[in-house]
Structure 1
Amino acid sequence: MEVLLGAAITLVILGAVFGMGLAIASDKFAVKVDSRIESINEVLPGVNCGACGQPGCSGFAQAVVEGKAPVTGCTVGQAAVAELVANIMGVTFEKKERTVAVVMCHAKGVKNKFVYQGVRDCRAAHVVGGGFLGCDYGCLGLGTCVEACKFEAMYMGEEGLPKVIEERCTACGKCAAVCPRKLISIVPVSKMVHVRCKSLDKGAVAKKICQDSCIACKRCEKICPYDAIHVQNNLAVIDYHKCTSCGKCVEVCPNHTIINLARKRSLAKRTLTV
């Protein structure tokens, strides 16, 4: 009996000693988590899209606290979230204008070079013979960008081209990243005028392939009062830092390649109010 009692007491003492040891070790080797990481994580959208370049929202929060990512790094949250993150970090930041995705192609009626029967993915189709589309620079229309959008901000239009729903677009850039022909640009929402073509073919060749193509006529370049548009490699290119969206280039473009989104937005609002 005395032997059993002694063994029990020994076990209790050993348990207490080991318990204290574990408590001390736990406190000594515990990983201290900066409370700011949790605070930042709470104000993030929580979509874990990875557009910030980090492994999800929690990864971004940690990167900001460690000084490895800017407070403005959340492209989905844009200025609103950046301000909250900056307040948590106790820093100031330069507010930037909201940006949206714009599809730089509006070609219609372009014939195919051959019948494509492969995987329904623009990237896969682009690899096969440079793409089945008659225009080597135009949208393949297989909707890979639409599938990449996590915010349901894109859809395929009736003419077979992707459309952006600006109100939902977060400018995360996922659609632009998967487009093999680099047809999607992320631009400031205030910029209304865009050249919806990426063809580098000479004017006569481009016109035969697509009726909406840029033919490098330079009319836009000559009429622009702000020196904001120039023809480079047979394609009109806008300098958005100089462009005021005055629309003069739109008026003289013979193929209607240059568009003014302000008109489209106005028409859309009218449709909604009717």
Structure 2
Amino acid sequence: MELVLGATITLVILGMIFGVGLAIASDKFAVKVDPRIDSINEILPGANCGACGQPGCSGFAQAVVEGKALVTGCTVGQNEVAELTASIMGVKFEGRERAVAVVMCHARGIKNKFVYHGVKDCRAAHIVGGGFFGCDYGCLGLGTCVEACKFEAMYMGKDNLPRVIEERCTACGKCAAVCPRKLISIVPTSKMVHVRCKSLDKGAVAKKICQDSCIACKQCEKICPYDAIHVQNNLAVIDYPKCTSCGKCVEVCPNHTIINFARERSLAKHTLTV
């Protein structure tokens, strides 16, 4: 009996010692979590799209608190989330202009080089012989960008070209990232003029392949009063910070390669309502 009692007392004492030790260790080695992380995480949209460059919304919240990400990093949340995040971090926030994805290709009447029977994915098709499409720079039309969009902001048009639903687009850049031919750009919504071509072929060659291609005639470059467009490697390129969307280049483009996107947006909205 005395032996059992002694053992019990010993176990109780050891338990108390271990308990105190664990309590001290727990307090000493505890990982302190900044409450701002939870506060920021609560206001995020929860899309976990990774557009911010972080592993999900919680990862973004932690990165902001640690100074590894900007308060404006959440493209999905736009200015509303950025402003709230800045408030939590105690920093000043200046509104930024909303951006949208734009498909820089409107190729028409182009014949395929061969019949493709592979995986319905632009990246896979691009590997096979440089792609089946007649233009080596144009859209393959398999809808990989549409599949990549988590916000249902894109759809394939009847011409096999992707269309962007601007009202739903969060400018996350996922569509641009999966396009093997880099045909999708993220640009400010105020910019209405775009060169819808990526061909680097010389004018005569490009014209034979696509009636909408840039032929590097430099008419746009000559007429622009703001020095906002230049022909580089046989392709007209817009310097968006300089561009005022005046539309003068649109008027002189012989192949209608440069377009006023205001009209395109109007047509897109009309398509969705009919």
Question: TM-score, normalised to structure 2's length?
Answer: 0.94
The match for 2:114 is: 114
Distance 1:231 1:186 in 2: 21
Aligned residue type for 1:200: L
Instruction: Return closer, same or farther for 1:118/1:238 CA change in 2, 3 Å cut-off.
Output: same
The match for 1:148 is: 148
Distance 2:269 2:130 in 1: 39
Q: Relative to structure 2, which stretch is displaced further, 178-187 or 43-52?
A: 43-52
Distance 1:270 1:142 in 2: 24
Contact 2:138 2:181 in 1 (8 A): yes
Q: How many residues align?
A: 274
Instruction: Return closer, same or farther for 1:117/1:204 CA change in 2, 3 Å cut-off.
Output: same
- 3-state SS in 1 of match to 2:163: strand
The offset of 1:273, in angstroms, is: 7.7
The match for 2:257 is: 257
Distance 1:110 1:180 in 2: 19
Matched ranges for 1:42-57 at <5 A = 42-57=42-57
- 3-state SS in 1 of match to 2:15: helix
Structure 2 gaps of 5+ residues are none
The offset of 1:86, in angstroms, is: 1.1
RMSD over aligned CA atoms reads 1.7
Aligned residue type for 1:17: I
- 3-state SS in 1 of match to 2:142: coil
Aligned residue type for 2:229: I
- 3-state SS in 1 of match to 2:72: coil
The match for 1:41 is: 41
Matched ranges for 1:134-145 at <5 A = 134-145=134-145
Distance 1:225 1:38 in 2: 50
Aligned residue type for 1:183: L
- 3-state SS in 2 of match to 1:138: coil
Aligned residue type for 2:159: E
The offset of 1:237, in angstroms, is: 1.0
Contact 2:165 2:268 in 1 (8 A): no
Q: Relative to structure 2, which stretch is displaced further, 86-95 or 101-110?
A: 86-95
The offset of 1:268, in angstroms, is: 4.8
Contact 2:101 2:164 in 1 (8 A): yes
Distance 1:268 1:232 in 2: 30
The match for 2:228 is: 228
- Give CA deviations for 1:109-159 in whole Å, capped at 9, x if unaligned: 211111112221111111111111111100011111111111111111111
The offset of 1:269, in angstroms, is: 5.2
Aligned residue type for 2:146: V
Distance 1:129 1:273 in 2: 40
Q: Relative to structure 2, which stretch is displaced further, 264-273 or 129-138?
A: 264-273
The match for 1:159 is: 159
The match for 1:127 is: 127
Q: Relative to structure 2, which stretch is displaced further, 174-183 or 92-101?
A: 92-101
Question: TM-score, normalised to structure 1's length?
Answer: 0.94
Distance 1:234 1:28 in 2: 65
Structure 1 gaps of 5+ residues are none
Instruction: Return closer, same or farther for 1:273/1:183 CA change in 2, 3 Å cut-off.
Output: closer
The offset of 1:267, in angstroms, is: 4.3
- 3-state SS in 2 of match to 1:102: strand
Aligned residue type for 1:173: G
Distance 2:65 2:207 in 1: 53
Instruction: Return closer, same or farther for 1:251/1:174 CA change in 2, 3 Å cut-off.
Output: same
The match for 2:23 is: 23
The match for 1:208 is: 208
Distance 1:140 1:120 in 2: 10
Instruction: Return closer, same or farther for 1:40/1:163 CA change in 2, 3 Å cut-off.
Output: same
